[in-house]
Structures are given as C-alpha cells and as structure tokens.
C-alpha cells in the first residue's frame, strides 16, 4: 500500500514538472512553429501544432524588411564595445577597492553601491540633454558611453580579487612586478570565472536592451536589433505574425545558443546580482 502511494506521488510530481516545463518552454516553441508557417495557416482554427508547409521565406522577409545587417552589426558593436570599456574600467577600480586601504574608500564604495541600486531609467532625460549638448545623440557613442563603467562589474570583481591569496601577490612583489602588471597578469587570470560570468551578464543585458537605443537614436544607421525587430509589427494590413516571430527568432537565437552552452555561468551571473 505504502509503495503504491509513493509511486502515485511520484507520478503526480512528474506530471507537475511537465506542466511547469510546458508553461515556460511552450511559448518559445510556439514562436518557432509560427515562424515557419504560412499566413493562412497562422489564421487557421484550430491551430496546427507544427507547420504543414515549412515557410523558410518568413526569415528572409523579416530580414529584408529593414537594414537588418546594419542593426545586427550595431548590436554587436554596442554590446562588445560596452563590454570592453566596462572591463577596462572595472578591473582597476575593483583592484583598488579590494587591495588598497586609502582615505575615502568606504565612501567611494558606498557611491558604487548607490549606482548599483538606482536604475538608469530614472535619469535618462538629463543624460539625453547632456549627450545632445555634446552632439552625441543618435550616434553609437550615445549607446556605449553611458554604460562605460559598471557598478555591478566592480562589485563582482572586487569580491573575486579579495579572494586571491596574499602569498601570490607577495611572491610577485618579491619578483619586482609592478602593481599594474600584478593587476593584469596575476589578478585578472585568477578571476577568470568571475570575468566570464560578468561578461555574459553584460553582453546579454545590452544585446537585449530596447529602452536606451529607443531613446537615444532616431535613424536606422545607429539603431540596434531590438528596435528593428520591434518595428516589424507596425506593418499595415493585418499583423504578419509569422514574419514577426521569424524576426524575434533572429533576435533570441544567439542568446539561446549562449544559454545552452554556458547555462551554469549565465544563471550564476544573474543570480550574483543579489550578492
């Protein structure tokens, strides 16, 4: 009897797990399925689970509805540009916080924590005004510069640098290595897992970002993929759901691929926000 109860509890648990997985995976599968359907099939009732005819041309149609090569290139430039700048500004700052004692350290670190906690959406207007004063609005710089430093990156790297054993640094100093060299050739390699974690976080965040490019740009030459994709549903004469979903597949595929490859790192990166 007990065994039967146990077995049925297990079945219920498995069904529950399947339901949860379904709720979170199915919408994406539905997106993929729609992306391959013809428009009549999209409007069919009851809906078909898999496309009857595979309409690959939806992807071409989405891609050709705007200068998508340029959007993609801009997205890559912005996300990678931000990543490099954040790396260059965060490493020395984190090193200073982790390894030096100096007047004002706690105050300055407090400022970093405030930056970490207050979202940029609150102050986009004055940043727009400022960048337009410098003539940078509607340039890629307006998308990159405001994110050149990352409070989150400093916070994360500081913790990693604090965990490097003192002996390692002492040994390097005995060899007359300069502080600058210790930072880049000893600390950075030792913090590699954290750097990967942070890099993934930053790249995904800026690849996905819609708000900032929407505010700062108004011409296709400097717009990024999310803006290009979002304009797909402005088409007149009924929404072309299949083309829209194909466009969104283009936007999310790189991130999904990265997620499959580096799942553990990515979850860690986003979870780390809390620490």
* Interface positions, 188-227, toward another protein (CB under 8 A): 204, 207-211, 214-215, 226
Q: Which of 6, 7, 111, 261 binds another protein (CB under 8 A)?
A: 111
For another protein, give the closer residue by CB, 30 or 54.
30
Q: Which of 4, 5, 100, 167 binds another protein (CB under 8 A)?
A: 100
By the 8 A CB rule, do 47 and 30 touch?
no
Binding of residue 2 to another protein (CB under 8 A)? no
Quote the least distance from Cβ 220 to another protein, whole Å: 16
Q: Which of 117, 114, 115, 75 is nearest to 204 (CA)?
A: 75
The Cα–Cα gap between 235 and 248 comes to 15
- Per CB under 8 A, which region of 4-12, 22-30, 62-70, 190-198 contacts another protein? 22-30
By the 8 A CB rule, do 216 and 131 touch?
yes
Quote the least distance from Cβ 138 to another protein, whole Å: 13
Q: How many residues bind another protein (CB under 8 A)?
A: 99
To the nearest 10°, the Cα dihedral for 210, 214, 216, 218? Answer: 140
The Cα–Cα gap between 244 and 174 comes to 61
For residue 158 the two structure tokens come to 């500081």
Q: Which of 114, 127, 85 is nearest to 212 (CA)?
A: 127
Quote the least distance from Cβ 131 to another protein, whole Å: 9
Site string for another protein, 57-86 (x = CB under 8 A): ------------------------------
Quote the least distance from Cβ 52 to another protein, whole Å: 16
Quote the least distance from Cβ 148 to another protein, whole Å: 5
For residue 61 the two structure tokens come to 């149609």
Binding of residue 15 to another protein (CB under 8 A)? no
Binding of residue 10 to another protein (CB under 8 A)? no
Burial annotation 173-196 (CB, 10 A radius, 16+ → b, else e): eeeeeeeeebbeebbbebbeebbe
For another protein, give the closer residue by CB, 70 or 85.
85
Cα–Cα distance list, 102 to 95, 99, 107, 151, 166 (Å) = 13, 10, 11, 19, 18
For another protein, give the closer residue by CB, 39 or 77.
39
The Cα–Cα gap between 203 and 255 comes to 9
Positions in 132-191 near another protein (CB under 8 A)? 132-133, 145-149, 151, 154, 162, 166, 169-170, 173, 179, 183
By the 8 A CB rule, do 229 and 76 touch?
no
Cα–Cα distance list, 110 to 85, 96, 99 (Å) = 22, 14, 17
Q: Which of 68, 87, 184, 259 binds another protein (CB under 8 A)?
A: 259
Quote the least distance from Cβ 10 to another protein, whole Å: 11
Binding of residue 36 to another protein (CB under 8 A)? no
Positions in 114-133 near another protein (CB under 8 A)? 114-115, 117-119, 121-130, 132-133
């Amino acid at each position: 009897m007990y065994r039967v109860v146990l077995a049925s509890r297990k079945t219920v648990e498995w069904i529950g797990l399947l339901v949860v997985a379904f709720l979170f995976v199915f919408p994406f599968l539905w997106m993929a399925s729609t992306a391959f359907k013809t428009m009549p099939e999209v409007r069919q009732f009851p809906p078909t689970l898999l496309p009857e005819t595979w309409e690959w041309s939806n992807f071409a149609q989405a891609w050709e509805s705007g200068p998508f090569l340029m959007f993609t290139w801009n997205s890559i430039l912005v996300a990678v540009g931000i990543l490099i700048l954040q790396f260059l500004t965060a490493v020395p700052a984190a090193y200073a916080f982790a390894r030096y004692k100096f007047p004002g350290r706690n105050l300055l670190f407090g400022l970093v924590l405030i930056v970490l906690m207050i979202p940029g959406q609150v102050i986009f207007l004055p940043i727009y005004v400022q960048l337009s004063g410098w003539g940078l609005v509607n340039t890629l710089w307006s998308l990159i510069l405001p994110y050149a430093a990352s409070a989150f990156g400093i916070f994360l790297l500081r913790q990693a640098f604090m965990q490097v054993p003192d002996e390692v640094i002492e040994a390097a100093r005995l060899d007359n290595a300069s502080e600058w060299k210790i930072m880049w050739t000893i600390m950075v390699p030792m913090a590699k897992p954290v750097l990967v974690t942070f890099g993934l976080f930053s790249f995904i965040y800026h690849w996905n970002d819609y708000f900032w490019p929407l505010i700062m740009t108004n011409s296709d030459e400097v717009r990024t993929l999310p803006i290009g994709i979002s304009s797909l549903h402005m088409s007149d004469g009924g929404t072309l759901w299949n083309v829209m979903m194909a466009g969104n597949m283009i936007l999310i595929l790189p991130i999904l691929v990265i997620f499959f490859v580096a799942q553990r790192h990515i979850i860690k990166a986003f979870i780390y926000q809390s620490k």
